[in-house]
Structure 1
Amino acid sequence: MRKFDAIVIGSGQGGVPLAKKLAKAGWQTAIVEKRWIGGTCINDGCTPTKTMIASAAAAHIIANSQEWGITVSDFKVDLEKIVARKNKVVRSFREGTTKSMEKIQGLSIIYGEAVFSGDKTLAVKLADGGQDEIAADHIFINTGTLPSIPPVPGLDTVNYLTNTTIMDLTKLPSHLMVLGSGYVGLEFGQLFRRLGCQVTIIDKNKQLLQHEDEDVAVAVKKVMETSGVMMYSNANVQKIEQTGDVIRLQLTANGETHAITGSHLLVAAGRTPQSKSLQPEKTGLVLDEKGYIPVNDKLETNVPGIYALGDVKGGPAFTHISYNDHLVIYKNLIHMENVSIKDRPIPYCMFTDPQLGRVGLTEKEAKAAGYKVKIACLDMTRVARAIETGNTQGFMKAVIDSNTDKLLGVAILGPEGGEVMSALQLAMLGGLTVTQLKEMIFAHPLYAESINNLFMTLDK
């Protein structure tokens, strides 16, 4: 058995920087990866999807170029080249990350699948054959999640796609049906619609994006429908079957029965933590009812010395949260600080076009928490930069504490919505008042300049 100071299981956006920093701090560190360095973000999530979304955005601009006074007589979508470009970007990110790790002394990369074999010991089935037995006083679990497959009758008999396999298609679907309307479903739905596919999204909930305010959800749904995506809400899929290359869905939506046929089915119904396969019980590790690994505010599990970071611990499943998790652990263990994940800001962005950038409390959350709030809203049709660029879908919304004149949260559904949200996040962290933001000088005519106008609406 080989003994290390630290073992990191999984090379996601928390595991990689943590392993590198622990090794540089003098800890003999091993990182175990069963597939590819980089985790979901680089290989299956952020990097490949945003690369393909960029291609879809180019197709959309060309298809609608007349709006900007440009006539394009004809164009062709080459999915093979789009996928090849995506793969090239992913490889460059993955290889760059791998090479940076290989240069660090005291860091051992082990390719294989790890399971607990005892108290803080792991058996690793090596990718190239054989087995390794390793142990450490400190173990960090960064194994992430996998697509969740719902128990829909007949689903297991059809050739469905997941967020990973859909990006390997080299022929466009004639009709893509999407089960689920979270970020994955909406982003892929609009992406493939812009590439020329018929797209139908089936949402089990009455309101799109359940965690958002109703007005934001309604605006996002309008964006999708304007894109040409067919939406079924409050829907229950009763049966799925496949005949040849045709997939058929039977469902009820708002009391009506529908039968939908399509060429491809994307299952985008949430995520499942990769935790049970670790055999956590062998080291005394407790999971919750959904399989996530509960942690305290310092990210430590019920077993002292074992930590969980990233999506596998539950909570907000974002790359930037996983990255911040590693900082919390590193500062506490190496610099003996007292950093906590409690009350940290949770910014996020959905990369539909326009983007939805969000941080802080929604209106309904703020009211439920007992705040006396005032709401500022500005439609993108009143934003100079949006009008000039021809991108006027969406609106800006700010939730304000009436007693302090400070921001509690914002939702920016608009072009570069994530960037504008980030500016307001900085304002929240800096304790700026709405009055200060209303009177602040922004360069003209940025989208950020509309922050002035957003808070001027409160004067009416």
Structure 2
Amino acid sequence: MSTHYDFLVIGGGSGGYAAARTAREHTESVAIVDGAETLGGLCILRGCMPSKTLIYSAEVLHLAQHGKQFGLDIPSAKVDMAALHERKLRTIAEFADYRQEQLASDRFTLYRNKAKFTGEREVTLDDGTVLTADKILVATGSTVNFPPVPGLDEVPVWTSDDVLDLDFLPESVIVLGGGIVACELAQFLHRAGSKITQIQRSPHILKEVSVEAAKVVEQAFRDEGIELITDTALKQIEKTADGVRVTFEHEGETVVREAKYLFNALGRKPNTASLDIEAAGLETRKSGHLVTNENQQTTNPHIYAAGDVAGPHEIVHIAIMQGEVAAKHAFGQTVEPVNYDTLLGVVFTDPQIGHVGLSETEMEKRGIEFVTADYPFDDHGKSILMEAKYGYVKTWAEKSTGKLLAAECVSKDASELIHSTAVGVSLGATLEQLLKVHWYHPTLSEIWSYPLEDCLDLISEG
């Protein structure tokens, strides 16, 4: 015997909940399966919300410790990790409680179990319950990646989950990796008071952004006192009497670093291992993401995927958009696929990085003729008075039409500043239209007017 639903969601995070909510507009027969210990998903429980809560507190601490730059006499400022931890728990509890209420409401049938596929439209739960559905959405997110580094599986190691749950200040930490999570949490730990060594395999950190942007953050890290070592090859990780030892190659030499704790931030991978996807005829890409088309359908047309498990961009708002597309398509609606040409991405280091639109490499690949211009924050009034001089803004515009194609911001509060250009890119606004905006002085935002004007001049000059 089995229970049948019109729409079944595996995973109650941002993408899964968005899909279930959308499906509920078309039918009452919607079920959600989520076997996590606590409902809410990665973003709320172990990702965006806890990390940004901690990062913001560390920024306040950093500013207080540098009060003399602002003509302030602040005798002492230090972290209280126990209090910081409690504030984080209170903050995310508000979001988690709301999500749990929504998932457990009578709008959905909620199964607090783990599931695996046992047929093309069938899943079996860990208590033996069998569920079938006309359409199924996989939104199981991602999990920490443990690459084959000699010794990594033989020593005590932290993941981002552990760092986000700290209630004490570690004296020293070696951070493996240079991705977004690695960089954001390395800087948080450093500002809280830990001695940080960050080891990155590639020549630059943050492969998700331009090399130009990554270099600004690298300089800021080193200026703050983080020992950032790039272009390395990990050779061995060992346990010591006091912690861990990491041996790696750098610039032709063997280098050794020791610390009390080791933080594995070498990326995440799609969470599909326990799903038995072969039983449903689902295929994956080399990255491990489930193969999906523009409607989020997998290689089994009755099964959809959204969020980190699907890719190509592991961002919360993308997961939500994908979930909504999947649910609408599942009920026969004509849908507009997610437009990745207007993709918005943010890195919450300090300085932050924001980028919207195509990369310059992609523009060149497509044969798009464009003009580009930039302007530095160390020559901008508001950023100077804020002692926020790292970084720049940069814009790209199509030469034939003057439309804004992309924008990049590396600065304090870049996550907020990038949205003004995101509106322009998404709506296909031209430089002339954007320059009609009242760019108020003195603000950080008015800096956009300079590269916009320069791009317009370049087009006018032919």
For normalisation by structure 2, the TM-score amounts to: 0.94
Task: Flag the 1:335–1:445 CA change in 2: closer, same or farther, 3 A.
Answer: farther
Determine the structure 1 residue equivalent to 2:382.
385
Determine the structure 2 residue equivalent to 1:241.
238
Q: Number of aligned pairs? A: 455
Structure 2 residue 283 is the aligned partner of structure 1 residue 282: no
More displaced stretch, 314-323 vs 85-94: 85-94
More displaced stretch, 409-418 vs 382-391: 382-391
Q: CA deviation at 1:203?
A: 0.9
CA distance in 2, matches of 1:291, 1:217: 26
Residues 258-337 of structure 1 mapped to structure 2, 5 A cutoff: 258-334=255-331, 336-337=333-334
Determine the structure 1 residue equivalent to 2:57.
55
CA distance in 1, matches of 2:29, 2:65: 55
CA distance in 1, matches of 2:58, 2:64: 10
Structure 2 residue 139 is the aligned partner of structure 1 residue 142: yes
Equivalent position SS for 2:274: helix
**C-alpha RMSD of the superposition:** 1.7
Structure 2 residue 92 is the aligned partner of structure 1 residue 90: yes
Determine the structure 2 residue equivalent to 1:33.
34
Determine the structure 2 residue equivalent to 1:397.
394
Structure 2 residue 351 is the aligned partner of structure 1 residue 354: yes
Q: CA deviation at 1:144?
A: 0.7
Equivalent position SS for 2:131: strand
CA contact (8 A) 1:332 1:339 kept: no
CA contact (8 A) 2:341 2:358 kept: no
CA distance in 1, matches of 2:378, 2:400: 30
CA contact (8 A) 1:9 1:33 kept: yes
1:48-82, Cα deviation, whole Å (9 max, x unpaired): 00011011111101111111111111233111111
CA distance in 1, matches of 2:210, 2:73: 39
Equivalent position SS for 2:418: helix
Equivalent position SS for 2:61: helix
Equivalent position SS for 1:237: strand
Structure 1: runs of 5+ lacking an equivalent: none
Residue identity opposite 2:14 in structure 1: Q
Determine the structure 2 residue equivalent to 1:435.
432
CA distance in 2, matches of 1:283, 1:259: 47
Determine the structure 1 residue equivalent to 2:118.
117
Residues 402-421 of structure 1 mapped to structure 2, 5 A cutoff: 402-421=399-418
Residue identity opposite 2:198 in structure 1: I
Task: Flag the 1:190–1:343 CA change in 2: closer, same or farther, 3 A.
Answer: closer
CA contact (8 A) 1:355 1:418 kept: yes
More displaced stretch, 336-345 vs 111-120: 336-345
Determine the structure 1 residue equivalent to 2:21.
20
Q: CA deviation at 1:23?
A: 2.6
CA distance in 2, matches of 1:296, 1:28: 25
CA distance in 2, matches of 1:70, 1:131: 64
Equivalent position SS for 1:11: coil
CA contact (8 A) 1:20 1:101 kept: no
CA contact (8 A) 1:362 1:410 kept: no
For normalisation by structure 1, the TM-score amounts to: 0.95
Structure 2: runs of 5+ lacking an equivalent: none
Determine the structure 2 residue equivalent to 1:456.
453
Residue identity opposite 1:67 in structure 2: Q
CA distance in 1, matches of 2:172, 2:364: 42
CA contact (8 A) 1:439 1:452 kept: no
CA contact (8 A) 1:8 1:31 kept: yes
1:246-266, Cα deviation, whole Å (9 max, x unpaired): 211111112222110111111
Residue identity opposite 1:131 in structure 2: G
1:134-173, Cα deviation, whole Å (9 max, x unpaired): 1111100000110111111111111111111111222212
Q: CA deviation at 1:453?
A: 2.1
Residue identity opposite 1:448 in structure 2: S
Equivalent position SS for 1:449: helix
Determine the structure 1 residue equivalent to 2:162.
165
CA distance in 1, matches of 2:281, 2:365: 38
Equivalent position SS for 1:103: coil
